[in-house]
Chains A and B, each alone.
Chain A
Amino acid sequence: MLVRLVNLIPASLSGEASQDSEPNIAVNPQKPTDMVATAFTPDPFHGPNAPIYVSTDGGQTWSLRNVVPGNGSFGTGDISVGFAGSGAMLYCGILSANAPANKTRLQILRTSNFLSVATMPVLVDRLGVDQPWVVAGTVMVGAAAHDRVYIGNNDFAAPNGQTATVDMSLDAATAVAPAGFSAKRIERAATSGQDGPPIRIALHGDGTIYVVHQRWTGATGNNVKMEVVVTRDDGWASGANPFSALADGANGSIGQRVVKGRTIVWNAIMGQERLGADSAIAVDPTNSAVVYVAWGDRLSASKPWTIHVGRSVDKGQTWPKKDLRTLVNAKNPCLAVNTDGVVGFLYQQLAGTGSVQRWVTAFEVWPAAGPDSAAPTILHTALAAEPVASFHPYLGDYARVVSVGKDFFGVFSGNNHADAANFPNGVTYQRNVDWANRRLLDLDGVSAVPDSIDPFFFHWTA
């Protein structure tokens, strides 16, 4: 059941018209009314820090804190957040906008108070890294709580083009920078020069960690051949050779290939959005042997971009179900599993043709047995041609869903056009809006504001 869908832009920013794309979310598992969300949102004052969105009432209302160093024209670069399992420490991975020309700059940040207005301190600062993705947990070591933090990233400084990497710390909460963080290479096989951008992580409370990455095996121009590869560690990646527990059943190399020989047409455009790097992974909290993976590919360059969802019930060794769900012309798959083993699946799909094409954002929940015939819940639908993109990604190279207990919490970005018909299950706008005349309104409550891309939050309870 959908509890709420909320536009994150607060009332005091009713005049903004930025492209707030590529959202991310963290929910405090000990107090799930406390949340942090992010997007390509610049500081409205054009100051030195980019904002995060915070909520303390379960996502009913959101406000911004300018606490992320490295604000640029569109906020910081890629940004991802995660709360520790206990203790409420917030971890953040960003690509700083304060980077040398032609370089990306990874920074890992930390704060013990997500509501603080102080700039988040930097723990790690490294050039040449793409798309950080933060996952965190907490484990008791004796009487002490240790925050285990894993940040997937694509590190172009890695040797031999084996770029899939996880920066990790086994006790990140209190130590001074770099707080125990070090880079672990996930890729062990040959690549065509790099792996794909998304390196996604699923963490289980028994210490099992899954990582999925896309191994690029060949490239001709923009046509890339790739394999979807799952690696695993069974003890918090604390051993001497982390992420090596899973060997490919066919050739024995580290990492099990879920599929191989799939095609990406890099930077192909669909509904104003670029394509090429969709990926998600989730583990069943009731059984660490059950793991789900989603990815995007084409069967050949002329075939449509398609999202697939696969499942393994033997800790990633075999993938008999590679298409539990198959969605043509879709992107941004997001997976989470709740404490009943129920799967939450979010995606954004381009529907229709020509000028009436629409981006449709939908959420599905499946029983542990797999998808049934239940219809997806449409969260949002809007014309794909409006507003005109000011940069890529238009909606985001990713969105995100997380689970806490039986509940799912997610974020996606979309056209904020104020038409109630675009939200068939309802929505709450914090910013000023004139629903009767389908207009956004400025702070004066009178002047119209142009449509733009906004981040949206949803809460689903089983």
Chain B
Amino acid sequence: MNAVAMADPEVLDLLRRSQFVFEGSVTGVERSTVPDIAADHDSVVLRVDRVLHSPAALSKLTGSEVTVQLLPGSARLGLNETTVLFTTAVAFGQGILVAEVGRTTPEIVGGMSMAAGAMAVLPGARSGRAHPVLDAAHELADEQLRGHFDDVAAAVIGRVVSLQKAGPVVANEHDPDWWKATIKVDHVEKGTVAGRVGVLYPNSSDVQWARVPKPRAGQDGLWLLHDTPPERVDLAPYSLLDADDLKPTDQLDRLAGGGH
């Protein structure tokens, strides 16, 4: 894994509280591009010069205008002023309205852009170059993974060797449709697991369960396992309940060292 510098604490804190980070230039003050939300003293419009961190659906916002509700009491921005804003969503229409969480300068964030979920090495990234937003995003992702690891009862690397229906047929739209995967364990990172372990998972495609991993025969992975509650523990000792309960095996390094 590549060595990456520790994230700037201020950037890390801002990114933890925001979802959309961009560098922009002010094109209007006390103005709004969202027709049914009136502008006020805290409203500014910026042209997005560079998307630094965003969900995929907004990664191509460069060149568009965005309305920002500045933090009350924060320093005003003047026309043509350039800044980097950390924001959360408020409204989406013909235009976008976001709320400022905090700001920094273009010099601080460097020259890198990234979209949410992009954890691989990115074009333009190279060793020794500072990319504070990317570093912070990596660190937050690691923090989230380690937090999830702390929450589960067991974490193993193993291969799925069999699948079978485990729960009763229940005619409910949101019934999980419990199945059991038997996993041959190759490595135990957490918990007291050995040999083969039974893992319940919701096989339902219902909106409530679709995001939870559905093991496939022969599938390898890093499995993050929850204790099965007493009412189902006779079916299997562990359960998959969360979208993050299955990771690629190479993610183990991120758990072990906190590095990348």
Contacts and interface: CB of A to CB of B under 8 A. Distances in A.
Interface in B142-174: 169, 171-174
Interface in A198-236: 216, 219, 221-222, 224
A221 B170 CA distance: 8
Contact of B94 (A11, A45, A77): A11
A222 B171 contact: yes
Interface in A386-409: 389-393, 397
A224 B172 CA distance: 11
Nearest to B90: A117
Interface stretch (B7-15, B126-134, B185-193, B205-213): B205-213
Interface stretch (A62-70, A135-143, A251-259, A323-331): A62-70
Contacts of B37: 115, 117
A442 B60 contact: yes
A10 B204 CA distance: 31
Contacts of B34: 63
A101 B241 contact: yes
A99 B226 CA distance: 16
B83 interface: no
A193 to B, nearest CB: 9
B93 A12 contact: yes
Of A12, A15, A197, A264, the most chain B CB neighbours within 10 A belong to A12
B19 A46 contact: yes
A437 B60 CA distance: 21
Given A12-B94, A73-B211, A221 B169 contact: yes
Nearest to B69: A117
A222 to B, nearest CB: 6
A205 B41 CA distance: 45
A179 interface: no
A63 B36 contact: yes
B89 A104 contact: no
A390 B137 CA distance: 27
A62 B229 CA distance: 44
Contact of A10 (B89, B94, B210): B94
A109 to B, nearest CB: 18
Interface in A421-448: 430, 442-444, 447
Dominant secondary structure of chain B at its interface with chain A = loop
Contacts of B19: 45-47
Contacts of B78: none
B65 to A, nearest CB: 10
Contacts of A219: 171
A392 B177 CA distance: 13
By size class, the interface of chain A is 35 or more
A392 B88 contact: no
Interface in B12-39: 19-20, 34-37
A11 B88 CA distance: 19
Contact of A64 (B62, B63, B93): B93
Interface stretch (B50-58, B106-114, B216-224, B247-255): B50-58
Nearest to A193: B171
Interface string B78-116: 000000000011111111110000000000000000001
Nearest to A21: B207
B188 to A, nearest CB: 24
A332 interface: no
A66 B95 CA distance: 15
B90 to A, nearest CB: 5
Contacts of B92: 10, 12-13, 44, 51, 63-64
A156 B170 CA distance: 13
A277 B89 CA distance: 35
B172 A130 contact: yes
B211 A115 contact: no
A44 B207 contact: no
A10 B95 CA distance: 8
A73 B205 contact: no
A15 B57 contact: yes
Contacts of B229: 102
A38 to B, nearest CB: 13
Given A54-B36, A74-B210, A13 B243 contact: no
Contacts of A63: 34, 36, 91-94
Contact of B88 (A47, A430, A442): A47
B71 interface: no
B58 A392 contact: no
A40 to B, nearest CB: 6
Contacts of B94: 10-12, 61, 63, 430
A405 to B, nearest CB: 24
Given A45-B20, A51-B92, A15 B60 contact: yes
Contacts of A224: 171
Contacts of B211: 72-74, 391
A430 to B, nearest CB: 8
Contacts of A77: 174, 207-208
Interface in A29-62: 40, 43-47, 51, 54, 56, 61-62
Contacts of A277: 173
A44 B57 contact: yes
Contacts of B243: 73
Contacts of A117: 37, 90-91, 97
Nearest to B61: A443
Contacts of B57: 13, 15-17, 44
Given A45-B20, A46-B55, A444-B63, A392 B89 contact: no
Contacts of A194: 171-172
A391 B205 contact: yes
Contacts of A15: 56-60
Nearest to B169: A221
Nearest to B88: A47
Contacts of B91: 63-66, 117
B58 A44 contact: yes
A335 B89 CA distance: 35
B171 A444 contact: no
Interface of B: 19-20, 34-37, 55-64, 88-97, 116, 169, 171-174, 176, 204-208, 210-211, 226, 229, 241, 243
25 contacts: A12-B92, A13-B57, A44-B57, A45-B58, A45-B88, A46-B19, A47-B19, A61-B35, A63-B94, A65-B90, A66-B90, A104-B174, A115-B37, A222-B169, A389-B205, A391-B207, A391-B211, A392-B204, A392-B207, A393-B207, A397-B173, A442-B60, A443-B58, A443-B64, A444-B62
Given A12-B64, A73-B210, A104-B208, 6 more contacts: A10-B92, A47-B89, A66-B89, A102-B176, A194-B171, A392-B205
